[in-house]
Amino acid sequence: MKIAGVDEVGVGCLAGPLVSAAVIFGKNKSEYFFKDSKKTSQKNRLIQAKYIKRNFYVGIGVASPCEIDELNVLKASHLAMKRAIKNLPVAPDRIIIDGIYVPEGLEHAEAIVKGDEQYQEIAAASIVAKNFRDQLMFNYAKVYEGYFFEKNKGYPTKDHKNAINYLGLSNIHRKSFKI
């Protein structure tokens, strides 16, 4: 049975996209024990993300800041999840999602609170999504200088809020968020 673990990152950010990943192990076994991306160092996330992409089926889905503003963050996260599942190279038989809601229209899907602690597929998806989004934000830091995206990744840190007060909002800031 092909089980897809799905997780997203970037929900609480002030800037940048929301990124979701879907991972199917298939018949492959992992030499790593994956933990939620927030409990894994950046160095280990990078190593593990490369390993996951080499050994398992991976799909990435992105919801832009404009889509987040138009839809709201929950609907945008569901859109990113659906895109990640659609971008898998094989179709899953079952989908397990970290959270409390199943995106509308997904069949054979189940939401699991703290699913990243219970299922390796979800923890692996968390690592891939975080690694992908962090790299995007690192690249955005070169384009939108002064917001410290290379450090804060778009999250509402003191330095980030001060930069917004000084520079205003960039093109990748979420305009619907109270800043």
**Tens digits of residue pLDDT in 68-102:** 999 999 999 999 999 999 999 999 999 999 999 99
Residue 100, domain CATH:
3.30.420.10
Helices 42-55 & 120-143, crossing angle to 10 degrees? 120
147 within some domain: yes
Name the strands in the sheet holding 3-9, side by side, starting at the edge strand that comes first in the sequence.
57-63, 18-24, 3-9, 94-98, 109-112
User: Is 174 contained in some domain?
Assistant: no
Is residue 175, in this structure, part of any structural domain at all?
no
Give the residue numbers spanning the domain of 146.
3-167
**What pLDDT sits at residue 36?**
63
Domain assignment of residue 122, yes or no: yes
Tell me what pLDDT residue 157 has: 95
Q: What is the pLDDT of residue 148?
A: 95
Domain-embedded: residue 178: no
Residue 119 lies in a domain: yes
What is the Cα–Cα distance from 125 to 34, expressed in whole angstroms? Answer: 10
Does residue 68 sit within a domain?
yes
- Which stretches in the chain have pLDDT values below 70? 31-33, 35-37
Q: How many domains does the chain have?
A: 1
* DSSP character string of 87-123: TSSS--SEEEEESS-PPTT-SSEEEETTHHHH-HHHH
